[in-house]
C-alpha cells in the first residue's frame, strides 16, 4: 500500500521503517533533510515539501501525520487545500481528541476522510510493534488496515497471546490495533492510556522512593528541626538495592509490567539516577485526562496526583509553599528554614 | 529438603504442591483436615497438630508459616517453645516488618533462626512460581535456598529473562528470589510491593471509569441539579468497549502489565462487572506503606489515594460527606439530594 | 440609584431587600410571581417580563442578573436585543469566567457594558452583606459603586476592620468589594474562592470524621475481614463530642473560621447529622478551578481531592471500585464482600 | 493559684504572662536564664533547676510543661522522681496522644496525676487567649480550672459568643477550654486540629498560587517543551493583586477565617513573599493525624495532600521524580530538562 508520512522524528522514522520492512511504499517528508535521507536509504521515496509529497501519491491518497500536537492544526489546514476529495488523512500523534472532532468537521467539508490513531510503544515500537487505537469512519479504517497490521505487533506475537489469554475475544484487539469508534475515539482512548501511564509511573516512583529511604534511621537528624524526629530508628536500618529489587519484581510478582522492566534497566545502568535531575515534562494527555474526568464527574485522585507531581517537579508549587511559610511565621513566629532554632518550635502551633 | 508447612489456605496449599513437585519432603498442618488430606494425596505427610508436625521433622527443622498476619504472633510464641536451638522458622505470609524485628528478638533468645519472606504471585503462583523477597541472616537464607528455588519461577523462565533484559545483573533477582537484608527486609520490600500494587490497580481503575463514562453526552441531566451541567455534550458520545480496549493495551502498549492481563480477563468474562459491588478490602501492607512514608517524610500521594479509595468503597467517607452537606445547608440553604430544586442553587455560593 | 434585578431566588431576593433598605430603586422580575410579590411588599417595582422590566428602567439602564449559570447565556442574548447602547448588564451569579469574556464580546458589539460580579455570602449576606469580586471596565464599575456599597458589608464593619488589621491597605477591599480587573476577573476570583471553599470544607470534614471514629477500639472487628485488624485498640477508646469540640475551636484556635461557625451550629442542632445522607452536589466553580490549575500547570492536590470526594459521594467511583474487586478476584481468588472468609485472605497478595 | 512552669519559649513565656496578669502565682524555669529574668520582671518567681522549682511549690503541686515534644519523656521521668503523690503534672505542648497514655501509666504508679492539654493560639494567644483541649481525670481537670480560665479567651469574648451563636450549648467550650475525655483526649483533639490546619493552609495556598498565575497567557512559552502549550492564552491575562483579594475575602465571604486574616497580613507586608523560600516544616501532628486515619480506615486525602506538599517542599520527592525521568528516557528516549528539543517530544508516548 502506498502511504505518505509527514514528520520523521523518533516515532515517525521508526514507523516508516516498519512499514518499509512490511513492503509498503512510503513517501516521506520532514523539515530536516537528514531525517528524509536516513529513510530513502531504506527504500522510502523522499519529498521536498508537503506539496511535493502530495503530488507523489496516487488517489485516493493516504497520509500519516506524525508531528507534535501543537503543529497539527496548521498542517491539517494546509493539507485540506492540497488534498483531493476521497483522500485519507491520518493523525497518528498525540492530539487532543476534541481537536479531532473539530478537524473532522473541517476536512469533511472538503470531502477528505480523517482518521485519528493513538499510538503507543515509544522507541520500543520499531522492533515490537505499536499499539494502535483508531477512531473515524469504520470503512475508511478498514481500508487502511494493511497499514495498521504492519505497524502493530507481528502475527506471531498476536497468535500466542490469542491462544493463551483472550481465546474467546473476537476482533483485532489481540493483534494490537482496534477500531474504537467515531472521530476522536482513537485519541480519547490514547489520552486515557497516557493518563493511566502517569499513574502507574508515579506508583512505582513513590514506592521506590520509600524503599530508598529505608535507611534513614542511620542518619542523625538532630540538626533538622523542620522534620519531626523519627520515633524508632531501629526500624529504618535497611540499605536496599533498588536495581536488584526492581529486577526481582519482574519475575512472577503481581506488579510485573513493561514500565517495571524499563525501570529495572534504568537502575541497572545508573543505580542512583545521578544522570537525572528530576525535572519531569508532561505532554497534554495527562491534563486532558483530568479535564475529561471533571466533565464526567468521575473521581481521578491517583491520575491527578501523578500529574501534579510533575508540575511540582518543575518548581510550580513554590509560591504555594511560600504562602505556607508566611502563615507559619504569622501565627507561630516560625522562622523558615533548616537553621531555625529548635527551642520552642514544636509547641507553638 | 524436608520442610514443615503450617497454614494450607489458597497460598499455603499451592506452595506445598510446588515443593512436592520439586521433590521436597513436606510435612503439613492446618486446622482444616480436608486441606491436609488434599495434600497427602499428593505425597505430603500430614500431621494432627503443630506439635505433631514439629515432632515429625529432623533437626535442624525448617518450618514455613503461611497464615493470616493476625495469627502469626500466637504461632511464633507457641513454636518458640516447641522448637530446638538451631531450627529455622520462616514467616511467608504478609506480616508487618516491624513485627518481624520483634519476633526475631524473641526467637533469638531461644536460638531459633527467623526468616521473613514476602511472597507475591497469588493464585497464579502455583503454575508460574512465586516472587520471593527474603530477610534474615544471610547464611540461614542460603541454607534454605533449595526451597526458594523450588517456589520461585522455573529455571527456563529465569534463563530467558537473564539473557534478554538483565544480562549484566549478578545474583538471584533474575530467578525470582532475593536476599534483601536483615530481619524484616523481606516483608519491608513486600509491603512496598503491595503499596505500589494498590497504586497501579487504582490507576487502571480510574482510567477505565473515565472510559466507561465517555458516553455521558447521550444522557439527559436536566433533572440532576447536583451535577454541573456538561458544557459540550458532543464530546461525550463514545460507547467504548472496555474488554476490547484492555485486551488491546496488552499488545505493545507502554501500560502492558500482569494486572492489565487480569483486568482484560475479568472484563471479558463480565463486561459490566455486574458480579461485583465494589466493596474493596485492604490488607495491612497498603496502610503500613503509608505509615512508612510518613516516618521517612517521603510524599506518597498516589499510594495514599489508592488506599483511601478502598476505605471510601466501604462507606467510611460517609460522615465526612454529611458534614459537607450540613455546611452547605448552613451557608447556602441548600437542601441535600437529587430532588433539590434547581431554581437558585447555582448561585448561592 | 435605579436597578433592575432579574432572578429572585434565595440570593436575588435577599440582595434586592438589601438594596431597597439602602434606599435604591429596584425593578424586579422572576418567573415565579410569588417571588415578585414578596419584594413589592418591601417597596420594589414588579414587572411581568424581562422586556417589561427593561421598559421600566431609565437610561443608562443597570440590570443585575442573579440566575443559575446554565441560564445566563439565553438571558444575555435576549437582553442584548432589548437593551440600548450605553446600558450596563451585570452578571452576579456563578458564571464561568471564560463565558464572561465571550459574553462581553457579544455585548460590546451592541455597545452594552458588561460587568461580572462574583458574590459570596450565601444566606448570611442579607444581614451581614456580601463579598463582591468585580470585573469589567473600570469606569463602569465605578459608576455602579453605590450598588456595590449597598450590597457589601456595612460601613461600621468596614471601619473596624480597616482600623484593626489592614490599616495600611488602600482601596475598597476592606469594605468588601473590589475591582479585580478586566472582564471575567470577578468571576475568576470567585471561582478560586469557591475552589478554596471546597478544600476548607473537606479539611474540616475529614478531621471530624477521624474524631468521630476515635472509639473504634471499642468495637469488635472480628467479623470484618475487609479491614486490617487494629494493632492496639487501647488507643481508640475516646467518645468525643463533636458539637462541643467544634464550638471550642471557634474560640482563639488557629482554625477558627466562618465555616467552622456554621459547622458548630449544624452539629449543635443534629449531633450525628442524621438528617443528611452525604450526597454532595458540586457547582461549576470547583471543576473550573481545577481546569484552571491544569492550564497553568499549578499543582492543586487538595482542591482536587475535595472535588473528587463530592463525585464519590454521589456513587461515581463505584465502577472503578468494581475494577479493583475484579482484579483482586483474578490474582488472589478473593471473593468480594463483608462475608468473605478470613481463612487465608491476609496472605494471598 | 500557684503553678510551676517549665519551658519558657515563645509559648511558655506568653502563657506565664497571661497567668501572672490574671493574678496567679508562677514559679518558672528554663535552661535559658534570660527567659527566666524576663518573667521575674513581671512578678514570676524564678528557679535554678527543675528540682529547685519543685521545691518552691506547695502541695499538691501543679506543674505545666511547655517544651518540645521530643523532650517531654526525659522531663516526665525526671519529675516522676521529684514530685509527691497527689501532685499534678500538665503537658501543654504538642505531644503525641499515645505517649500521654504511656506517660500516665508511669505517673500513675507514682500516684501523680497527669493532664494533657492541647494548646492552640500561637503568638496571638498572649492577647487573645488560648484554645485549650484537655484530657485526663475529670476531677483533676476541674481542680486546675482557674488556670484554664486564665489562659483561655477572656470572659467578655466568651459571653458574646455564647449569646450570638451557641446559645443552647452548655459547658465550657464556648469559653475556649474543654474537658475532652480521658488521658490523651486533649492531645488527640489537638492533633486533629493541626491536621485540619494543614489542610486549610494548603487550600488557601493552592488557590492563591492559581490566582498568581492568572497572567500566564502573557508569557511566551515557546521555549519550554516540558509544558503542554496553553490552548487559549486570552483566558490568562489577569494580573491579580493577592494582598487586595485576601483582604477582600475577609469581609463576609464564606472563606473568611483567622488563617485568611494572617495571610492577608503577610501579603500586605511582602506581596511576592520574597522573604520566604518555601521550605516548610511539619511538626508531628500532621503525620499522627494520618496515622490515626489509617488505623481508623477513614479516608483523609486532603489532610494527606497537605502534609505531602510539605515533604515535597523540602526536596523529598526528588528521587521519585528522577525515577519518572528515567522511565521517560527508557520508553520515549526523552532527554530530561528545559532544553530538550521539542521536535518529536509530544508524540513518542
Residue range D122-165, pLDDT digits in tens: 888 999 999 999 999 999 999 999 999 999 997 665 554 444 45
CB contact under 8 A, D192 and C203: no
Q: How confident is the model at residue B157 (pLDDT cuts 50, 70, 90)?
A: low
Mark whether A15 and A80 lie in a shared domain: yes
* In-domain check, residue C343: no
Q: How far apart are CA A342 and CA D10, in angstroms?
A: 12
Region D278-285: mean pLDDT is 93
Average pLDDT over residues B301-307: 98
- Asked if C309's CB is within 8 angstroms of D176's CB, the reply is no
Nearest to B299 among D291, D295, D311 (CB): D311
**Confidence at residue D348, expressed as pLDDT on a 0 to 100 scale:** 40
For the ranges A290-299, A333-342, D44-53, which has the lowest average pLDDT?
A: A333-342
Contacts of C254 in chain A (CB under 8 A): 331, 349
Does residue C218 share a domain with residue C293?
Answer: yes
Q: Is the pLDDT of residue A223 over 60?
A: no
For residue D317, the distance in angstroms to the closest alpha carbon of chain C comes to 14
Residues C146 and C199 in one domain: no
Asked whether the beta carbons of residue C301 and residue A304 sit closer than 8 angstroms, the reply is yes
Across C116-149, b (16+ Cβ under 10 Å) vs e yields bbbbbbbbbbbebbbbbbbbbbeebbebbeebbb
The residue whose grid cell reads 518567681 is D45
Q: Which residues from chain D sit within 8 angstroms of residue C175, using beta carbons?
A: 251
Taking each helix axis as running N to C, give the angle between helix D284-296 and helix C185-212, from 0 to 180 degrees, rounded to the nearest 10: 60
Residues in chain B with CB shorter than 8 Å from the CB of D333 are: none
Kind and range of the H or E element at D116?
strand D113-120
CATH code of the domain containing A197: 1.10.1040.10
Chain D CB contacts of A276 under 8 Å are: 322, 325-326, 329, 336
Mean pLDDT of A107-118: 98
Q: Can you give the pLDDT at residue D210?
A: 98
Please indicate, yes or no, whether residues C19 and C155 belong to a single structural domain of this protein: yes
Q: Which residues of A touch B153 (CB under 8 A)?
A: 251-252
pLDDT at A278 > cutoff 70: yes
* d(C-alpha A90, C-alpha A77), whole Å: 13
D290, D299, D331 ranked by CB distance to B294: nearest: D290
For B223-243, the pLDDT digits (tens) are 455 667 788 899 999 999 999
Number of C-beta neighbours around residue B275 at 10 A: 13
Record: contact C245-D175, CB cut-off 8 A: no
Same domain, A99 and A225: no
Reported confidence tier of residue A147, pLDDT bands at 50, 70, 90: very high
Which residue in B254, B291, B314 is closest to D294 by CB distance?
B291
Cβ contact C238–D158 (<8 Å): no
CA A226 vs. chain centroid, Å, equals 37
Q: What confidence score (pLDDT) does residue C332 get? A: 84
Cβ D136 vs Cβ D113: under 8 Å: yes
Nearest to A175 among B122, B251, B299 (CB): B251
Label the pairing between strands C131-136 and C177-181.
parallel
Residues of B with CB under 8 A from a CB of D: 254, 282, 287, 290-291, 294-295, 297-301, 304-305, 307-309, 311-312, 314, 316-317, 320, 331, 349
C145 and C19 in a common domain = yes
Size of interface A-D (CB pairs under 8 A): 316
- Dihedral of CA A320/A322/A326/A329: which sign? positive
**pLDDT tens for residues C8-64?**
999 999 999 999 999 999 999 999 999 999 999 999 999 999 999 999 999 999 999
User: Buried b vs exposed e over D18-41: b needs ≥16 C-beta within 10 Å?
Assistant: bbbeeebebbbbbeeeebbebbee
Enumerate the residues of chain A whose CB falls inside 8 A of the CB of residue C297: 282, 311, 314, 316
Report the residue of A18, A127, A210 to disrupt the B interface, i.e. the one with the largest count of B CBs within 10 Å. A210
Residues A173 and A288 grouped into a single domain: no
Q: Could you list the residue range(s) of the whole structural domain that residue C93 is in?
A: 2-159+168-181
Residues composing chain C? 349
Query: Which candidate, A337, A276, A215, places its Cα nearest to that of D313?
Result: A337
**Cβ(D304)–Cβ(C309) under 8 Å?**
no
Task: Provide the pLDDT for residue C234.
Answer: 94
**A156 vs D122: which has the higher pLDDT:** D122
Radius of gyration, alpha carbons of chain C: 25
CATH code where residue B95 lies = 3.40.50.720
Closest residue in chain C to residue D261, using alpha carbons only? C165
Q: Is the Cβ pair D301, B308 closer than 8 Å?
A: yes
Positions of C annotated as catalytic residues are: 190, 197
Q: Is residue B76 domain-shared with residue B213, that is, in the same domain? A: no
Select from C12, C120, C310 the Cβ nearest to the Cβ of B349.
C120
pLDDT tens digits for range D291-315? 999 999 999 999 999 999 999 999 9
Q: Is the pLDDT of residue D230 over 70?
A: yes
Dihedral over Cα of D260, D262, D264, D267: its sign: negative
Chain A residues with a Cβ under 8 Å from any Cβ in chain C = 254, 282, 287, 290-291, 294-295, 297-301, 304-305, 307-309, 311-312, 314, 316-317, 320, 331, 349
Pairing relation of β-strands A131-136 and A113-120?
antiparallel
The H or E element containing residue C105 is: helix C97-109
Q: If we measure between CA atoms, which residue out of B189, B5, B193, B195 comes closest to residue B91?
A: B5
Residues of chain A found within 8 Å of residue D337, distances taken between Cβ atoms: 277, 279
- Predicted local distance difference test score (pLDDT) of residue A226: 60
pLDDT grade for B335, boundaries at 50, 70 and 90: confident
Write the CA distances from B300 to A209, B290, B291, B305, D129, integer angstroms: 9, 7, 10, 9, 37
Positive/negative CA dihedral, A135, A140, A144, A149: positive
Identify the active-site residue in B190, B206, B285, B322: B190
> For residues A281, A287, A289 and A294, what is the CA-based torsion angle, rounded to 10 degrees?
150
B119 SS3 class: strand
Catalytic residue numbers of A, as ranges: 190, 197
Give how far C17 is from chain A: nearest CA, Å: 36
Sheet with C131-136, strands from edge to edge, namely: C45-46, C25-29, C2-6, C62-65, C88-91, C113-120, C131-136, C177-181
Q: What is the DSSP string of A305-345?
A: HHHHHHHHHTTTTHHHHHHHHHHHHHHH-PPPSTT---TTG
Preferred mutation among B148, B151, B217, B252 to probe A, highest tally of A CBs within 10 A: B252
Which alpha helices (H) appear in chain D, and where do they start and end? Answer: 10-21, 33-40, 50-55, 72-82, 97-109, 125-128, 138-143, 145-151, 155-164, 185-212, 242-249, 258-269, 284-296, 301-313, 318-332
Identify whether B197 is a catalytic site residue: yes
Domain shared by B91 and B226, yes or no? no
Task: State how far the Cα of C310 lies from the Cα of B12, in Å rounded to an integer.
Answer: 42
Contact list, D338 vs chain A (CB under 8 Å): 279
pLDDT at A160 over 50: no
Helix (H) or strand (E) holding C180: strand C177-181
Three-class secondary structure of residue B175 per DSSP:
helix
pLDDT at A283: 84
**Averaged pLDDT for residues B107-112:** 97
How many interface pairs between A and B have CB atoms less than 8 angstroms apart?
348
Residue B43 domain flag? yes
DSSP states along B176-242: TEEEEESTTHHHHHHHHHHHHHHHHHHHHHHHHHHHHTTTGGGS--SS-TTSPPPS-GGG------H
Specify whether the CB–CB gap between D99 and D75 falls below 8 A: no
Residue A26 half-sphere exposure, CB side, CA atoms within 13 Å? Answer: 32
Q: Which of C291, C298, C307 sits opposite A291 (nearest CB)?
A: C291
Mean pLDDT, range D242-250, rounded to an integer? 96
Residues of C whose CB is below 8 A from D238: 180-182, 184-185, 188
B137, B145, B197, B247: the active-site residue: B197
At D336, is the pLDDT very low, low, confident or very high (cuts 50, 70, 90)? confident
**Tens digits of per-residue pLDDT, A175-222?**
999 999 999 999 999 999 999 999 999 999 999 999 999 999 998 655
More confident residue, A165 or D36: D36
Contact D329 A202 (CB under 8 A): no
Q: Are strands D88-91 and B62-65 parallel, antiparallel or unpaired?
A: unpaired
Number of domains in chain D: 2
Chain B residues close to C318, C-beta within 8 Å: 278
Determine the residue among C252, C282, C297, C305 to mutate to test chain A binding: the one whose Cβ has the most chain A Cβ atoms within 10 Å: C297
Would D53 be classed as within a structural domain?
yes
One digit per residue, the tens of pLDDT, for chain C of length 349 reads 999 999 999 999 999 999 999 999 999 999 999 999 999 999 999 999 999 999 999 999 999 999 998 899 999 999 999 999 999 999 999 999 999 999 999 999 999 999 999 999 988 899 999 999 999 999 999 999 999 999 999 766 555 444 445 556 788 998 999 999 999 999 999 999 999 999 999 999 999 999 999 999 998 655 455 667 788 899 999 999 999 999 999 999 999 999 999 999 999 999 999 999 999 999 899 999 999 999 999 999 999 999 999 999 999 999 999 999 999 999 988 777 653 433 333 344 4
> The cell 521519585 sits on which residue?
D320
Confidence band, pLDDT 50/70/90 cuts, at residue A230? confident
DSSP string, A151-177: HSPPHHHHHHHHHHT-TT--SSGGGTE
Question: Does the structure show a pLDDT above 90 at B211?
Answer: yes
User: What's the mean pLDDT in B74-80?
Assistant: 96
Cell of B219: 444522557
Helical segments of chain B, H only: 10-21, 33-40, 50-55, 72-82, 97-109, 125-128, 138-143, 145-151, 155-164, 185-212, 242-249, 258-269, 284-296, 301-313, 318-332
How many angstroms away from the CA of C311 is the closest CA of chain A?
Answer: 6
Find the residue in A nearest to C283 (Cα). A297
pLDDT at B316 over 60: yes
Short-list D296, D98, D293, CA closest to D195 = D293
Question: At C114, which helix (H) or strand (E)?
Answer: strand C113-120
Contact check, Cβ <8 Å, B324/C120? no
Contact criterion met (CB below 8 Å) for C140 and C115: yes
CA angle at D302 for the pair D298 and D304, rounded to the nearest 5°: 75
| Mean pLDDT across D216-230 | 71
Of C216, C247, C257, nearest to D256 by CB-CB distance is: C257
CA distance A34 to chain C (A): 35
With bands split at pLDDT 50, 70 and 90, how would you rate the model's confidence at A167? low
Assigned C-alpha cell, C119: 458574590
- Split at pLDDT 50, 70, 90, the class of D245 is very high
Considering only the beta carbons, identify the residue of C287, C299, C312 that sits closest to A294: C287
Handedness of CA A81, A87, A93, A96 (dihedral sign): positive
Alpha helices in chain A (DSSP H): 10-21, 33-40, 50-55, 72-82, 97-109, 125-128, 138-143, 145-151, 155-164, 185-212, 242-249, 258-269, 284-296, 301-313, 318-332
Averaged pLDDT score across all residues of chain B? 91
Q: Which of A229-238, B261-270, D165-174 has the lowest mean pLDDT?
A: D165-174
Residue D325 Cα, gap to closest chain B Cα (Å)? 15
Q: Is the peptide bond before A60 cis (omega within 30 degrees of 0)?
A: yes
> How far is the C-alpha of A242 from the C-alpha of A248, rounded, in Å?
10
Among left, alpha and beta (phi > 0; psi -120 to 50; other), residue A273 is: left
Question: Does this complex have an ipTM over 0.90?
Answer: yes
Q: Are residues B66 and B194 in the same domain?
A: no
Given a cut of 60, whether residue A338 has pLDDT beyond it is no
With residues binned 3-state (H G I as helix, E B as strand, rest as coil), the percentages for chain C, rounded to 5, are 55, 10, 35
Please tell me which residue of chain A has the smallest CA distance to D93. Answer: A347
Q: Nearest CA to CA, how far is A197 from chain D (Å)?
A: 9
User: Residues with Cβ < 8 Å from D323, sequence gap 6 or more?
Assistant: A201, A204, A205, A208, A209, A263, A266, A273
Q: Is residue C176 domain-shared with residue C323, that is, in the same domain?
A: no
Task: Please give the pLDDT value at position A219.
Answer: 84
**Among partner residues B171, B196, B235, which is closest to A203 by beta-carbon distance?**
B196
Of the ranges A139-143, C21-25, D61-65, D219-223, which one carries the lowest mean pLDDT score?
D219-223
| Cα distance between residue D95 and residue D116, in whole Å | 8
Asked if residues B334 and B345 have their Cβ atoms less than 8 Å apart, the reply is yes
Q: Do A154 and A209 share a domain, yes or no? A: no
Amino acid at each position: 500500500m502506498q502511504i505518505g508520512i509527514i514528520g520523521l522524528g523518533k516515532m515517525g522514522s521508526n514507523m516508516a521503517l516498519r512499514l518499509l520492512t512490511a513492503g509498503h511504499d512510503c513517501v516521506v517528508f520532514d523539515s530536516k533533510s537528514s531525517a528524509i535521507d536516513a529513510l530513502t536509504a531504506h527504500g522510502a521515496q523522499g519529498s521536498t515539501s508537503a506539496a511535493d509529497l502530495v503530488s507523489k501519491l496516487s488517489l485516493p491518497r493516504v497520509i500519516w501525520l506524525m508531528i507534535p500536537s501543537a503543529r497539527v492544526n496548521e498542517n491539517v489546514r494546509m493539507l485540506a487545500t492540497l488534498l483531493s476529495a476521497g483522500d485519507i488523512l491520518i493523525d497518528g500523534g498525540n492530539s487532543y481528541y476534541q481537536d479531532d472532532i473539530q478537524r473532522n468537521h473541517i476536512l469533511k467539508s472538503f470531502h477528505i476522510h480523517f482518521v485519528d490513531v493513538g499510538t503507543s510503544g515509544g522507541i520500543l515500537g520499531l522492533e515490537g510493534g505499536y499499539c494502535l487505537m483508531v477512531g473515524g469512519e469504520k470503512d475508511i479504517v478498514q481500508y487502511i488496515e494493511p497499514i495498521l497490521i504492519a505497524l502493530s505487533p507481528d502475527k506471531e506475537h498476536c497468535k500466542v497471546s490469542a491462544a493463551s489469554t483472550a481465546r474467546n475475544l473476537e476482533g483485532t484487539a489481540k493483534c494490537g490495533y482496534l477500531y474504537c469508534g467515531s472521530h476522536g475515539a482513537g485519541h480519547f482512548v490514547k489520552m486515557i492510556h497516557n493518563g493511566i501511564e502517569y499513574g502507574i509511573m508515579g506508583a512505582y516512583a513513590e514506592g521506590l522512593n520509600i524503599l530508598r529511604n529505608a535507611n534513614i534511621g542511620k542518619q542523625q537528624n538532630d540538626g533538622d528541626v523542620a522534620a519531626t524526629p523519627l520515633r524508632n530508628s531501629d526500624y529504618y536500618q535497611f540499605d536496599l538495592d533498588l536495581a536488584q529489587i526492581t529486577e526481582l519484581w519482574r519475575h512472577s510478582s503481581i506488579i510485573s509490567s513493561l514500565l517495571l522492566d524499563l525501570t529495572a534497566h534504568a537502575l541497572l545502568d545508573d543505580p542512583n539516577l545521578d544522570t537525572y535531575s528530576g525535572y519531569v515534562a508532561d505532554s497534554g494527555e495527562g491534563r486532558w485526562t483530568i479535564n475529561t474526568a471533571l466533565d464526567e464527574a468521575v473521581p481521578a485522585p491517583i491520575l491527578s496526583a501523578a500529574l501534579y507531581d510533575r508540575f511540582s517537579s518543575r518548581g510550580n508549587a513554590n509560591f504555594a509553599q511560600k504562602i505556607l511559610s508566611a502563615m507559619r511565621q504569622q501565627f507561630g513566629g516560625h522562622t523558615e528554614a533548616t537553621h531555625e532554632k529548635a527551642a520552642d518550635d514544636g509547641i507553638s502551633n
